[in-house]
Chains A and B, each alone.
Chain A
Amino acid sequence: MNVLVYLVPLALLLGLGGLFAFLWSLKSGQYDDLDGAAVRVLSDDDLPDSARPASSAAPERHHS
């Protein structure tokens, strides 16, 4: 039974860790733009210019 004395607090600490991670992610605005987060991962803006595909989206497409 003595095992509970430190395992239960340990479980709680892990849970609290998760809670604080959530609160931090909330505070840093990670839930403000859920649709954007899903598509931003596809953009290659972290590559140097030389490694990008030659043609990016053509702005002309938007002249409506």
Chain B
Amino acid sequence: MSEAIDYSIFVGTSEDGLAQMSLAIDGIDCAACIGEIENGVKALPGVVRARLNYSTHRLTVAWSEGTSPDRVVGQLEALGYRAHPFAGRAEESEARHARWLLRCLGVAGFAAMNIMLLSVSVWSGNVTDITPETRDFFHWISALIALPAAAYAGQPFFQSAVRAIRSGRLNMDVPITIGVTLALGMSVLETAMSQPHAYFDSAIMLLFFLLAGRYLDHEARRRTRATAGNIAALRGEMAHRIGADGVPVLVPVQALQPGDTILIHPGERVAADGVVASGLSAVDESLVTGETLPRALKAGDHVYAGSLNGEGALHLTVTAGGENTLVDDVQRLLDGALAEKGAYVRLADRVARLYAPMVHLTALVSAIGWLLAGSGLHDAVMIAVAVLIITCPCALALAVPAVQVTATGRLFRAGMLINAGDMLERLAAVDTVVFDKTGTLTLPEPALALPSGADPDLVALAGRLALSSRHPLAGVIAARAKGPALEHVTEVSGQGIEAIIEGRRARLGSLSFCEAVAPADLPADASLIAFRHGEKVLVMGVAQALRPDACEVVAELKARGLDVRILSGDRPAAVAPVAVALGIAQAEAGLKPADKIAALDALKAEGRRVLMVGDGLNDAPALAAAAVSLSPATGAAVTQAHADAVFLGRRLWPVLAAVDGARTAARLMRQNLAIAVGYNIIAVPLAIAGFVTPLVAALAMSGSSILVTVNALRAARPGRKEEAVGDDSATGEAGALTEVAA
């Protein structure tokens, strides 16, 4: 296409004043791609830098002059990679946060190592012949390292604790902050009074362990977000905007303004909501409403982004979100659903609400107890501090994130990109699964249905003829073509196309155009297309096809005790055969977005926790209203934004993997919490009895942390059966990216 492309909204300025752009790249599969891409782009005139990030599949290009963004994209396409510019403001701030956590981790690691070096000397010296002067010297040096290090590396916890208290909540960071502050303060006093015990090492080690957990948790989530961001960018939603001079220019959807006029070619997806200015066509709104029959359009009608245009070209006036009824409706329902959802309280925070007051009360009671028992104020306070240090929730705060990191990584490999941090906990508690039909249980694109005994050569020939058609259904047949497009193809408007093949006339189009009769063995809701070559006639159907493993996945979900249902916006006639094929008894059809929410509310009223899986714009409010929500990567953008996780590929298997993974993860989280609580049950009486020295505290703390971490690693190990299923879907991710391109 010779049409100009205007990518200017993606171009920024680099630190050294060059024009700079980031691109998501598809097709990187080996190390050699790095050099190929970087050198290929650097070969363009004016390009100063090209650096590929192999982990995130992003390329950053900086140029001075002589190069335009579309030349960079063109060059990458010539090299064999699909690329699309990318604007990730949110990801930049996440990357900054990750770097900050890593800096804190580095500082805490340095301090922990050096203080431990001094502490081990003191511990061994305390049982042999260390002089009080040497011990105090070591303690003062420890204080010198620990205080600034804790002030710096403890910021993530201090800030979070302050935020929590300001909003009147308690989270795990509150007891952590109190514990660390008290331990450090008490140790400084002890050192000043030349006492043998100081807890600098415990406080810093606690920060180090917790920061490691937090950093890994953040990184795991960032990685899945980056992949999801790439998929969104590579959809490369572009629109033909008609400029002031009447010439269409291809621009990214993000650059469109209300009032712009865009041109929608036949067979193209509508890029933005709008009103038809001129033109006649029909649109397939299956991604918007789930309805699979096309809707006829004339000037003045509303069209929604994501609809697939039919045979006519349309001029569309772009409208702002607020001007159009369906999107308005969806937005209003969404706001309502989100407000009603209420914040889910994470398992760790629920534990913290109980834990923090209990721990502080125990410390206070033991101090008072020792005072009443006649010990001095100093000893009583020391024991209270020892209780606080030993109960400082190191294992408890690691218990949940450690499992989350491993489980998220495993689901990532299964093609499930998790968006929300607490999604695993919520998913594990689900007892009802509600599927949307179109694009969720069925494949996002229609598939070819052939009558029994169809001649494959004839199908391939029909495919070659279909290559020349712009009809939206022709693409499905064209995929079967073996060989190049035919020459001298003529189009008979509204009927089909025709050409001469091997001396005989070939026609592809409506039944009457090809003088064919409909065979009985095609699906009832299929759109029929006929092909005639000389005397040979073939009638093909184009229909929604189930995802290849939909039956197995639904059966497996049922076998796990889940109640599976369908809520669809499509006609009852289209929903019923799918429900029968999958063995789903409860299937409701013809639902509007509000009806879906009502249906979910009814399920909620029965006390059910619902997992909603859907892809359409009409599913977005329902996804927000459900306890947990999943969306295929091919779904509408708004829908994905409200899904807790997005899954890749043509198969439904990731949904099952997510349910299993979440259940394993929840079990391990509970085990880990039990380990952490068990540790406290043993350690707290020792601390109250006054047996806990800094050495015991250090051993107990690292011991319990290592135990929960090792236990969490079990979440990464798939079961034997799952592994077998997982293997043949290993190409799911790559497949999904190509699918999005289609």
Contacts and interface: CB of A to CB of B under 8 A. Distances in A.
A23 B36 contact: no
A33 B54 contact: yes
B81 A23 contact: no
A8 B738 CA distance: 60
Contacts of A31: 99, 102
A20 to B, nearest CB: 9
A59 B36 CA distance: 8
B53 A36 contact: yes
Interface residues of B, number: 37
Contact of A22 (B35, B53, B106, B141): B106
A50 interface: no
Given A19-B110, A26-B99, A32 B141 contact: no
A15 B131 CA distance: 25
Contacts of A19: 106-107, 110
Interface stretch (B26-34, B194-202, B668-676, B679-687): B26-34
Instruction: Count chain B CB atoms within 10 A of each CB in A33, A42, A45 and give the residue with the most.
Output: A33
Given A34-B55, A59-B36, A62-B79, A39 B113 contact: no
Contacts of B32: 43, 56-57
Q: Is the interface of B mostly helix, strand, loop or mixed?
A: helix
Given A23-B106, A34-B55, A43 B31 contact: yes
B80 A63 contact: yes
Contacts of B34: 36, 39-40, 43
Nearest to A25: B106
A56 B66 CA distance: 28
Contacts of A56: 32, 35-36
A15 B113 contact: yes
A12 B54 contact: no
B568 to A, nearest CB: 33
B80 A61 contact: yes
Interface string B39-81: 1000000000000111110000000000000000000001111
A4 interface: yes
B8 interface: no
Given A15-B113, A57-B33, A39 B79 contact: no
Contacts of A12: 114, 141, 145
Interface string A24-62: 001000011111100110110100000000001101111
Contacts of B35: 43, 45, 56
Contacts of B79: 59, 62
Q: Is the interface of A mostly helix, strand, loop or mixed?
A: helix
Contacts of A39: 31, 34, 54
B39 A45 contact: yes
Interface in B105-161: 106-107, 110, 113-114, 117-118, 131, 133-134, 137-138, 141, 145
A40 B31 contact: yes
Contacts of A35: 54-55
29 contacts: A1-B131, A4-B137, A8-B118, A8-B137, A15-B113, A19-B107, A19-B110, A22-B106, A22-B110, A23-B103, A26-B106, A31-B99, A31-B102, A32-B55, A32-B95, A35-B55, A39-B31, A40-B31, A40-B54, A43-B31, A43-B34, A45-B35, A45-B39, A57-B32, A57-B36, A59-B79, A59-B80, A62-B81, A64-B27
Interface of B: 27, 30-36, 39, 52-56, 78-81, 95, 99, 102-103, 106-107, 110, 113-114, 117-118, 131, 133-134, 137-138, 141, 145, 738
Interface of A: 1, 4, 8, 11-12, 15-16, 18-19, 22-23, 26, 31-36, 39-40, 42-43, 45, 56-57, 59-64
Given A40-B34, A57-B32, 7 more contacts: A1-B131, A4-B134, A15-B113, A43-B35, A45-B39, A62-B80, A64-B27
